[in-house]
Structure 1
């Protein structure tokens, strides 16, 4: 059973999620998604596991969101994925994929839930 965390070391929530995985003794792979952005296919898979629309994964408070005028645009799921691949800073974090399920660690209880179920 593979576990992956999409991690931003500068984010306290992401660091907390990493610590939770370590505390629980879970073996995991760390993907620093700002340095190694996910591919279109990978991001589509993660969004599918999360059970959300790509637009729900967008960090709307980021400077680049405003600079690109994304609030004024109506994008398709495919277009949102392309934006997230091109601008990974817009991807909500942390994301943990575990045993065929995924969760955004806001709150961290979301991650706890996929580890225990």
Structure 2
């Protein structure tokens, strides 16, 4: 099984999710999204396939999200997406894609639904 993980190696949940994929024998492509962020179209596609909005994919606990006013209820999805592209640290992780779908794998055991 092929899998792609949008990964932050400094994140414990992301590392544990990658471990689960490797233990399952998946052929994993690791994308360090902080160094190689997805293009707008790719991020939108991932969220659509996962059935979530950019707001749901926002790392709201990141202080920058509050500083930029992204946690306010009246902020548009497009504005949130623009901020994620400008500041990839705002993208909640890990995002995993397999032929079975896409999930934001928090907690890490969510990835098992994609195996």
What's the TM-score, normalizing by structure 2?
A: 0.92
Counterpart CA distance in 2 for 1:108 and 1:49 is 18
The count of aligned residue pairs is 115
Partner in structure 2 of residue 67 of structure 1: 67
1:49, 1:100 within 8 Å by CA — same for their partners in 2?
no
Q: Which residue of 1 aligns with 2:21?
A: 21
Name 2:10's counterpart in structure 1: 10
- Structure 2 unaligned spans of 5+: none
Does the 8 A contact of 2:14 with 2:108 survive in 1? no
Unaligned runs of 5+ in 1: none
Q: Which whole-Å CA distance do the structure 1 matches of 2:3 and 2:71 have between them?
A: 33
Counterparts of 1:71 and 1:80, CA distance in 2: 9
Distance 2:112 2:41 in 1: 26
What TM-score, normalized by structure 1, do the two folds share?
A: 0.90
Partner in structure 2 of residue 79 of structure 1 = 79
1:39 corresponds to: 39
More strand as a share of residues: 2
Q: Deviation of residue 73 (structure 1)?
A: 5.9
Higher helix share: 1
- C-alpha RMSD over aligned residues: 1.4
